[in-house]
Amino acid sequence: MDPLDWNQLRAFLETAETGSLSAAARKLGLTQPTLSRQVAAIERSMGVTLFERVGKTMALTPTGLDLLEHARTMGTAVEALSLAATGRSQAVGGVVSISATEIVAARLLPPLVRQLREQAPGITVEVIASDALSDLQRREADIAIRHVKPEQPDLIARLVREGTAHFYASENWVKAHGYPRTAKHAAHLPFIGTKRTDQYLGYLRQQGLPLTEANFSCYADNSVVHWALVCDGMGIGAMMDEIAVTTPSIVRVLDELPPVRFPIWLVSHRELRTSRPIRVVFEALAKGL
């Protein structure tokens, strides 16, 4: 294998991060044909296929996925060397803001923030809890934990993993209503809604639940309040499994339904490439999540 060229490695990284040759080319200030040649060159150099074209997107092959983390490590090292050489390297300190849904901010982030504080005591983390998407381009946050891939080409996104969720109810609710296992069993049972629109009802029907608006005992568009209502026995609600299993007196119901699967993305703005504190927090979250 020929020695790796940094420009080719950077082309691979950007294409992997954005999933698009055109988006990667815009980020690097290159033409799409130039970027495509660099990706092809690194594949020839390594003797492997890193991407498959799926419509307009570039999907990583299993080999590409295996090599991605190694490439990220190399890319981080090169960037750190460049910053140090130009006198722009930064101490690991300062304030880094993280945006997440209120339930994730309250239940998943605290142990990660504590671990980060132990590893990098100079960094102060600001947690922004909001069920609305923060505008990273306007610097409403430095890093966001999202369940949807960002569409803005200037943002940097990494798919951390796939999460799962199931339906849950409180132990007291199960004692009062029984233990529903199938979608048919849930037809006349109370559920907790989100916003008073047909969107959540449609989502539940997609999961195979034959429900109507009459099934909703109450509504809450705040994720923390929604979960609190489940815990207090107001009805059935869906929740990330990591959060549900650590909640006392909660029982998984409708266990014959398949899990709800959703992506967990870490998203940041362009300063991720030049700010060492943001990069440290980003990598710590990627590992912790």
Domains of the chain, first to last:
6-85 (1.10.10.10), 94-156+265-288 (3.40.190.10), 163-262 (3.40.190.10)
The pLDDT value recorded for residue 86 is: 47
The pLDDT value recorded for residue 89 is: 42
pTM of model > 0.85: no
**List of E strands, 171-285:** 191-193, 216-219, 237-240, 250-253, 260-268
More confident residue, 44 or 274: 44
Residue range 44-95, pLDDT digits in tens = 888 889 988 887 788 888 888 888 878 877 776 766 565 555 444 445 678 8
The pLDDT value recorded for residue 210 is: 92
Q: How confident is the model at residue 159 (pLDDT cuts 50, 70, 90)?
A: very high
Summary mean pLDDT of the chain: 87
Arithmetic mean of pLDDT, 132-144? 85
- Note every long-range contact of 184-187, with CB atoms under 8 Å and residues 24 or more positions apart, other chains counting: 184/210, 185/254, 186/210, 186/211, 186/236, 186/254, 187/211
The pLDDT value recorded for residue 110 is: 96
Q: List, in sequence order, every residue forming a beta bridge with 123; answer none if it has no partner.
A: 94
Name which of 13-22, 232-241, 280-289 the model is least confident about: 13-22
More confident residue, 108 or 83: 108
Element (H, E) at 117: helix 109-119
Residue range 200-250, pLDDT digits in tens = 888 889 888 999 999 999 999 899 999 999 999 999 999 999 999 999 999
CA distances from 210 to 152, 182, 202, 257 (A): 37, 11, 10, 13
pLDDT-above-70 percentage for the chain = 93
The pLDDT value recorded for residue 74 is: 78
Relative orientation angle of helices 6-18 and 21-28, to the nearest 10 degrees: 130
